[in-house]
C-alpha cells in the first residue's frame, strides 16, 4: 500500500523514499503544533515570555520536519542492525503513519529479530536524552535553540515509548514475540503477543473514550487490528508449510503477445474467464498482468503493464519460499514445469486461498498425537 513514493536519498545502498501522504500531513502538523498556544506552554516550562523570539509557525514547521527526521533515524537504526546481521533491506519509506523499513527477516533467529526491533527505539531514546541533557548544560538563559532541543528531545522519547508498547506491529510487539519465541513455537508466541496487544488496545481505547481523548481511541483501533493481522499472517505462513507452488497456482491463465492492446487483453480474459494474463511470445515470457490492474494505468499495450523482470518458480518448489519471493518483489510468480514451460501463476489471492483450504483440510485430520504415533508405527 505504501510502496510507492519518491526516492529522495539512500543509506548504504538502501533507497530512502518519501510517500506522497507525508507532504499532505506535514503542513497540517505544522499548523496544529503552532496553534497549541506554544508561548503559554513555554512560559509554563519556566521560559520567560521575553526569551521566545521565534514565531510559533516556525516552531511548528521545524518540529514537524524534525519529527520525521527522528522517525528516519529510528528506521535507519533498524536498517543498520539488519545489515549487520546480513539481512536484505529493501527500502525505508516515510509516510503519514510514520516510517517503515522493509527487511527480509525470515531467516533471522529470535535474538536477531529482537535486536533489529530494539535498535529503532534505542536510537530515539539516546537522541532524546542527549538533546534534553544538552539543553540543560548549555550556559546562560533560555534561547530558542535550547527550547527547540528540549522539544525535539521530548519528541524522540515519545516516539521511543510509543514504539515500545508490546503490541504488533510496533517494535515492542516484535520484541515480545521474539523473546517468547526463545521458548515457544512461533504460532504460540504470535497468539500470546496478539492477545496482549489486543487487550492493551481495548484498555487504551476505553481510557480514551472515558476521557474524550479521540486520538488515543484512533490509535488503539489501529493497534487492535494490527495485533489481529499479525496473528492471521502467522497462521497463513504455518498453513503453507509443506505445500508446493503447483498446489496454490492458478491455471486459468491466458497467454497474450506483448503488443496486444489493453481492450484485446480484457477480451481474452473475459472469454477464458481468467483473472491472470501471461505476456509472452514464442521465445520469451515478459511478465504477468492481473485483471484488477488492467484499468489502473494509462498503458496502451500489454508490454507497458509489465514491470521489471518476471519471477519464476518450479512446480515443486516449496510454497513458503515462493511466497517470500513474491512478497519481497511485490508481484506474482510464474510457475514452470520441468520442460521450462509456464503452467500457472501464483498470486496473493491464490496464497490466501491455499492457506484457507489447508487449515480447513487439516481440521479433518486426526490430532497431532495420533499422527506422530502413526509415523512411529511406520518407522
Ligand atoms: Zn520501529
Ligand 1 center–CA 59 separation, angstroms: 25
Which grid coordinates are listed for 143? 534561547
> Which pLDDT score is estimated for 126?
95
User: In this predicted model, which residue has the larger pLDDT, 377 or 328?
Assistant: 328
Distance (angstroms) between ligand 1 centre and the Cα of 175 equals 11
pTM to 2 decimals?
A: 0.74
123 Cα to the center of ligand 1, angstroms = 10
HSE-up of residue 249 (Cα within 13 Å, Cβ side): 25
Instruction: For residue 229, report the distance from its CA to the centre of ligand 1, in Å.
Output: 17
55-69, 173-187, 205-219, 245-259: lowest mean pLDDT where? 55-69
**pLDDT tens-digit profile of 264-316?**
888 988 988 888 888 888 888 888 888 887 776 677 787 888 877 888 889 88
Contact 81, 142 (CB under 8 A): no
Spacing, Cα 309 to ligand 1 middle (Å): 31
Distance, CA 11 to ligand 1 centroid (Å)? Answer: 16
Q: In angstroms, what is the span from residue 283 Cα to ligand 1's centroid? A: 45
Residue with more model confidence, 8 or 170:
170
Average pLDDT over residues 58-67: 80
The pLDDT of residue 121 is above 90? yes
Between 31 and 85, residue with greater pLDDT? 85
> Rounded to whole angstroms, how far apart are CA atoms 96 and 119?
22
The distance between the two most distant Cα atoms of the chain, rounded to a whole number of Å, is 86
Under the banding of pLDDT at 50, 70 and 90, the label for residue 50 is: low
Distance 52 CA to ligand 1 centre (A): 34
pLDDT tens for 141-194 read 667 777 778 888 888 888 899 899 998 888 999 999 999 988 888 888 888 999
CA of 128 to the centre of ligand 1 (A): 15
Going from the Cα of 75 to the center of ligand 1, the distance in angstroms, rounded, reads: 6
Over the stretch 318-327, which tens digit does the pLDDT of each residue have?
A: 998 898 888 8
Residue 256's alpha-carbon distances to 82, 125, 261, in angstroms, are 41, 55, 10
Amino acid at each position: 500500500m505504501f510502496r510507492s513514493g519518491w526516492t529522495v536519498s539512500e543509506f548504504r545502498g538502501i533507497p530512502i523514499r518519501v510517500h506522497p501522504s507525508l507532504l499532505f500531513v506535514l503542513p497540517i502538523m505544522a499548523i496544529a503544533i503552532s496553534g497549541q498556544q506554544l508561548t503559554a506552554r513555554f512560559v509554563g516550562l519556566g521560559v520567560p515570555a521575553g526569551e521566545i523570539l521565534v514565531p510559533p509557525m516556525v516552531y511548528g514547521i521545524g518540529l514537524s520536519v524534525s519529527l520525521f527526521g527522528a522517525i528516519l533515524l529510528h528506521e535507519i537504526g533498524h536498517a543498520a542492525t539488519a545489515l549487520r546481521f546480513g539481512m536484505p533491506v529493501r527500502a525505508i519509506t516515510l509516510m503519514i503513519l510514520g516510517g517503515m523499513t522493509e527487511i527480509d527477516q525470515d531467516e533471522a533467529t529470535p535474538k536477531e529479530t529482537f535486536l533489529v526491533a530494539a535498535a529503532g527505539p534505542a536510537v530515539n531514546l539516546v537522541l532524546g536524552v542527549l538533546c534534553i541533557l544538552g539543553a540543560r548544560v548549555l550556559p546562560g538563559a533560555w534561547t530558542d535553540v535550547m527550547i527547540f532541543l528540549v522539544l525535539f528531545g521530548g519528541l524522540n522519547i515519545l516516539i521511543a515509548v510509543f514504539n515500545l508498547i508490546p503490541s504488533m506491529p510496533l517494535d515492542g510487539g516484535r520484541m515480545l514475540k521474539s523473546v517468547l519465541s526463545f521458548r515457544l513455537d512461533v504460532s504460540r508466541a504470535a497468539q500470546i503477543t496478539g492477545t496482549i496487544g489486543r487487550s492493551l488496545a481495548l484498555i487504551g481505547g476505553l481510557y480514551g473514550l472515558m476521557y474524550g481523548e479521540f486520538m488515543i481511541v484512533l490509535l488503539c483501533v489501529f493497534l487492535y487490528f494490527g495485533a489481529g493481522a499479525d496473528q492471521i499472517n502467522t497462521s497463513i505462513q504455518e498453513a503453507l508449510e509443506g505445500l508446493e507452488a503447483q498446489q496454490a497456482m492458478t491455471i486459468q491463465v491466458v497467454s497474450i503477445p506483448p503488443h496486444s492492446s489493453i481492450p484485446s487483453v480484457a477480451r481474452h480474459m473475459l472469454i477464458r474467464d481468467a483473472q491472470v494474463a501471461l505476456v509472452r511470445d514464442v521465445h520469451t515470457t515478459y511478465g504477468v498482468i492481473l485483471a484488477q490492474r488492467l484499468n489502473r494505468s494509462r498503458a496502451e499495450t500489454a508490454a507497458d503493464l509489465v514491470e521489471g523482470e518476471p519471477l519464476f518458480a518450479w512446480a515443486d518448489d516449496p510454497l513458503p519460499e515462493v511466497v517470500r519471493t513474491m512478497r519481497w518483489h511485490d508481484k506474482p510468480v510464474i510457475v514452470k514445469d520441468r520442460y521450462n514451460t509456464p503452467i500457472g501463476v501464483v498470486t496473493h489471492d491464490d496464497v490466501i486461498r491455499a492457506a484457507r483450504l489447508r487449515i480447513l483440510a487439516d481440521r479433518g485430520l486426526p490430532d497431532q498425537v495420533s499422527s506422530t504415533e502413526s509415523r512411529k508405527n511406520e518407522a
